[in-house]
Structure 1
Amino acid sequence: MVKQARAAVTRQALISAAAEVFGTDGYAMATLPAISSRAGVSSGALHFHFPNKEALASAVESAAAESALALTEESARAAKGGRLQALVAAVCRLMDAVADDPVVRAGFRLGADPSRKSGAKLHDWWYEWVRNALVQARRNGELAEDVSAEDAAVVVVAATLGLETLGATDRYWQSAERVSQLWSFALPRLSPAE
């Protein structure tokens, strides 16, 4: 049992260290020795848990997806004003996580990294989550008559991923102020006039 606990701690340390390295260096420039060094474990321990860099990147993406799903679902449950308000809360929480959580930040960055062939799974999940929230908002009468849930999803996802990308070099793009500007512009267009 002690070995299993130690293995779980080592695995988590490797995922955290990999997230930091992938987040700053990108996938192509990240090296396994840099990751094992940052985690404080031997390269043998790294290879025991992850056979290669792609497996480690996939583990980071999976951990990021779990965190992102948990915070968006929590936001949706806590929102009192319907699905549109839940979407606003989820975007705010997700942008906070992108700014503050190296694993979530790296998960989104890895999904858009052109040096990987794995596809943008986290981006695809985010699009589906946003689209589903807006489809439900449409059913609840929370969207303006002339607003398509599909079109609104494209705009919200493009805006949030744009803020995430710009924030990679200037954290101000991921700030609450920038997210507030997004919603100040978008909500009057999305919401019914009354």
Structure 2
Amino acid sequence: MVKQARAARTREALIVAAAEVFADNGYALASLPAVSRRAGVSTGALHFHFASKEALAREVESAAADFVGKMAAGCRGAQDTLLQSLVNATCGLLDAVGSDPVVRAGFKLSRDPSRAKGQGGGGLVRWWCHWVQDLVAQAAREGELAYGVSCEGAAAAVVAATVGFETLGDFDRRWVSPERTTQFWTFLLPLLAASPQQVLPRPGGPDGPNDEDTDSG
């Protein structure tokens, strides 16, 4: 039991260390010795858990996808409109990109051209694209989009902006800051929503303060 717990901790440390190395250096320049040094374990321990750099990259992507999927699902609040859920999810996503190396590396790996054909393949970016498209389509059916707004155009704008912010965050972390996300939604919501006053950009992400919180004091 003790050995199993130790092995689980080692595996988790390797995933986090690999994410940091992939996020900092990209797939091509990342090395297994660099990962093992970052994790504070031997290369033998690394190879016990992961047979190759690609196996490690897939595990990082899987961990990132699991986190983002759960985060997005958690943003679908029963009391929220669909557009509010979309705002919450983009805030949560970009906050995670800025603060969580696993999520940041997951997105970077999914669009890394140095990986062999058939590996990577844009998994996390493609998943996010489909999730936004599905949510915007549901919002359109519920009458939440403003008159004349194209469902496809709205989804494309949100996906392009969030993936663009994520990419630019590699060079300047301010692109994935809560302030930037709030600026984006403050600009877009009046154009997108049938009732923009019912949808609130929340600077702290999906769990950030709302009007009731700020008015209560």
Range of TM-score over shorter length: over 0.9
- The match for 2:5 is 5
Matched, 1:40 2:40: yes
TM-aligned CA deviation for residue 155 of structure 1: 1.2
Q: Which runs of 4+ in 1 moved over 6 A?
A: none
Normalising to structure 1: TM-score of the pair? Answer: 0.95
Please give the per-residue CA displacement for 1:59-102, whole angstroms capped at 9, x wherever unaligned.
Answer: 00000011111111111226x33100100010001110000011
Instruction: Verify: 1:107 aligned to 2:106, yes or no.
Output: yes
Match of 2:151 in 1: 149
**Cα deviations across residues 7-64 of structure 1 (Å, max 9, x unaligned)?**
1111111000000000101111100000011111111111111110011000000000
Structure holding more helix per residue: 1
Q: CA RMSD in A?
A: 1.3
Q: Which residue of 119, 133, 136 maps to 1:134?
A: 136
2:154/2:192 contact within 8 Å kept: yes
Alignment gaps of 5+ in structure 2: 197-217
Q: Which runs of 5+ in 1 are unaligned?
A: none
2:179 to 165, 177, 194: 177
Q: Residue 145 of structure 1: SS of its match in structure 2?
A: coil
Task: Determine helix, strand or coil for the equivalent of 2:76.
Answer: helix
Aligned to 2:214: none
User: How far apart in 2 are the matches of 1:45 and 1:148?
Assistant: 52
Shift of residue 149, structure 1, vs aligned partner: 2.1
Give the aligned partner of residue 191 of structure 1: 193
Q: Tell me the CA shift for residue 150 of structure 1.
A: 2.1
